[in-house]
Structure 1
Amino acid sequence: MNEREGKWTAIDKALLGKLKEITDEERTILSGNSTVARNLYTNEKDFVVDSRKMLARGKLIDIRTHTRFIRFPRHKHNYIEIIYMVSGTTTHIINDSRQVVLNPGDLLFLNQNAFQEILPAGMEDIAINFIILPEFFDVAFQMLDGENLLKNFLVDSLRQDNRTAGYLYFKVADILPVQNLLENMIWSILNEQPNRHRINQTTMGLLFLQLLNYMDKIEQCEDDPYDNYLTLSVLRHIEENYRDSNLTLLARELNQPVYLLSRLIKRNTGCTYKELLQRKRFQKAVELLGDTTLSINDIITAVGYDNTSYFHRIFREKYEMSPRQYRIKKKQM
């Protein structure tokens, strides 16, 4: 038993045992199936692991153990993946050339454009895959001041441009606060802790702040700093000015024509400026619905809408319930 696995056993032996359990997919592999069942991961011709297959409707984050006993073929994800090595090792081929061997306690961040292949893992090689949609990182984004490697990675992770096939590899097995934060998130997700969404978003932000203290323990894939700057500026503007955000004024501040900035936003994030702004406004609206006693009309005004009918229609399309029903549901959780 290695040192990290011993730590896990001391903390929660039952949890470690749960993570080691052979899954139905692995049982099929052990029975003689020599290929990964792609239909479990995607319906597309290209092997892009689909978040709709990995996450229940409405979830922004979940975890699963890495599939052992077989080579996992070359693939990408349409979400952000964070791999945390619990015990043993796994070997990852990234972007067809870079080999990364994860040891217990190591972390590997992959954006949506990074290609990955994983060599066969054994029974004791336990890796946890965090499956995360970009909007989950809203709180972490706010907690990261200034420009830094992790904030730039989050920006890159919104992109749809294959020039930004990035990854971050942290060798942080000996950093106890990092390990504790990761294990807290795993426990919270597996046990469906009340208020886990807010807790896990905050914990992720704290994890990023801790990782910033150990940048000497990181390897990275470099990227285009100019595109990073412009995209980061747009996201920061929306984050800080979502109530009255204005693309024309932002373009003037960045000394960019509006049509070029619009094109850049769409290319680098996969969303239009309006879609990014709406996503932030609704993220704030549901936060206020769950955490305050403000009237729904006051919340609509607070997040920047002056047409209540439009807000109610879009809210119902997005969440399949009215704002009032959403508030009642949140209070019952």
Structure 2
Amino acid sequence: MDVSTLEAKLFTHTISEEWHLNHPGKLSTRYRSIPIITENSQSYYRFSFKSVLKNSNISILKESRFTRIPLHVHSVIEINYIYRGNCSQIINGTRHELHEGDLCILDTNTIHEILPLSENDIIMTIDMRKSYFSAGFLSRLSSQGIVASFLAGAISMNTEKKQCLIFRHHDAKLHLLVQQLLCEYYDKQTGSNEIIDAYMIIIFSELLRLYMNHQENFKKQTDSGSDLLRMLQYIEVNYETITLNSMAQNFSFHPNYISAYLKRNSGKTFKELVIIQRMSKACFYLSNSTTPIYQIAQEIGYNNLGFFYDKFKELYQMTPMEYREKYSSSFSNK
């Protein structure tokens, strides 16, 4: 499928859209079978993706135009991409105006609704199982370090915050990647699932780059504070020799404050963050070199090989050797 064929498909009225044009202001009859939850005097629908995700970890759909999607939650990670036009969403009680090229990542159990879309508003939704987002993304992004791991985990692991991240940068490269993803998804052939997974990794890596280049915009969206990213970057650079005291001295804070701050805002202790960064570096060596595993352990600061193996398996649910076999670059296998 090429882009022109894709766009012809996206702008063609679906059966649902034709129904809503003929029944203005009415919700689809499918809502009769969707459970309603009432909590704190607020009622909302609980969407289930069991059918569409029965045999897949990812689902992509175009949101129906000419109708609203009422307040709802779901147990999947959701990405809304404004392919064309505009979109008004109410997320956790706050109205957000999204425009062409904007992208919103919604955490599980985030209460939100989409106000009616018009003819020229094309909103693409990517729904992913929580396991796909955490295990798949974190393992394959591991070589990018603790900052990448935190940003991925911020959505997939910290469900109590019910948060979202909005990327408001009309990035031509991101748009091209989304187009290629959609072309592959709507015209599946041999190897399509692997290609779709690869596009998702590239898209998320591009989002990570946008995040890093526009940090000030994201500080307003999260409660992690202005120091968190700098602290994570410091750990990422100094992971081999870092101590809590040396980090506290660098930031002119008491060690107890650093420890509590990291735990509160990242969900991880100082020791856990250092371990994650060291393991991230180990993943890079495992997938991009033939360096013996014992030597990799020493390179990242572990003389106790047993401890290294235990922590690695705890993080990635596989041994270092299994990780190497699964993710090693082609040159490493020659």
SS state at 2:225 partner: helix
Alpha-carbon distance change, 12 to 62 in structure 1, aligned in 2, over 3 angstroms = same
Q: Which range moved further: 284-293 or 156-165? A: 156-165
| CA apart distance, 1:267 | 0.9
Matched, 1:118 2:119: no
CA offsets, 1:161-194, max 9 Å, x none? 999966435263xx53331133345567883346
SS state at 1:93 partner: strand
- Give the equivalent residue in structure 1 for 2:41: none
- Give the equivalent residue in structure 2 for 1:181: 177
| CA apart distance, 1:240 | 1.4
| CA apart distance, 1:260 | 1.6
- Give the equivalent residue in structure 2 for 1:222: 220
- Give the equivalent residue in structure 2 for 1:249: 246
- Give the equivalent residue in structure 1 for 2:193: 192
| CA apart distance, 1:242 | 2.4
Alpha-carbon distance change, 138 to 322 in structure 1, aligned in 2, over 3 angstroms = closer
| 1:18-97 pair list within 5 angstroms | 32-34=30-32, 36=34, 64-65=60-61, 71-75=69-73, 82-86=79-83, 90-97=87-94
- Give the equivalent residue in structure 1 for 2:4: 10
Q: Quick check: 1:156–1:228 contact (8 Å CA) kept in 2?
A: no
| CA apart distance, 1:283 | 2.5
1:303 alignment partner AA: I
SS state at 1:85 partner: strand
Matched, 1:305 2:302: yes
| CA apart distance, 1:323 | 1.7
1:47 & 1:245 partners in 2: Cα distance?
Answer: 47
Alpha-carbon distance change, 212 to 266 in structure 1, aligned in 2, over 3 angstroms = closer
Alpha-carbon distance change, 231 to 221 in structure 1, aligned in 2, over 3 angstroms = closer
- Give the equivalent residue in structure 2 for 1:261: 258
TM-score normalised by structure 2 residue count: 0.62
SS state at 2:318 partner: coil
1:127 alignment partner AA: M
Alpha-carbon distance change, 289 to 224 in structure 1, aligned in 2, over 3 angstroms = closer
SS state at 2:253 partner: coil
SS state at 2:193 partner: coil
Matched, 1:330 2:323: no
2:193 alignment partner AA: E
| 1:123-134 pair list within 5 angstroms | 126-129=123-126, 132-133=133-134
CA offsets, 1:229-276, max 9 Å, x none? 321122101221222332221011111111121111111111212222
Alpha-carbon distance change, 323 to 140 in structure 1, aligned in 2, over 3 angstroms = closer
1:231 & 1:299 partners in 2: Cα distance?
Answer: 28
CA offsets, 1:85-120, max 9 Å, x none? 3367653112313142x4554323557897533346
Q: Quick check: 1:140–1:205 contact (8 Å CA) kept in 2?
A: no
* Aligned residue pair count: 294
| CA apart distance, 1:48 | 9.8
Larger Rg: 1 or 2? 2
Q: Quick check: 1:94–1:115 contact (8 Å CA) kept in 2?
A: yes
1:280 & 1:296 partners in 2: Cα distance?
Answer: 17
1:125 & 1:237 partners in 2: Cα distance?
Answer: 41
| CA apart distance, 1:205 | 4.1
From 275, 279, 284, give the equivalent of 1:278. 275
Q: Quick check: 1:140–1:206 contact (8 Å CA) kept in 2?
A: no
CA offsets, 1:5-33, max 9 Å, x none? xx97416579969xx899xxxxxx96644
Q: Structure 2: which 5+ runs fail to align?
A: 17-26, 38-43
1:93 alignment partner AA: I
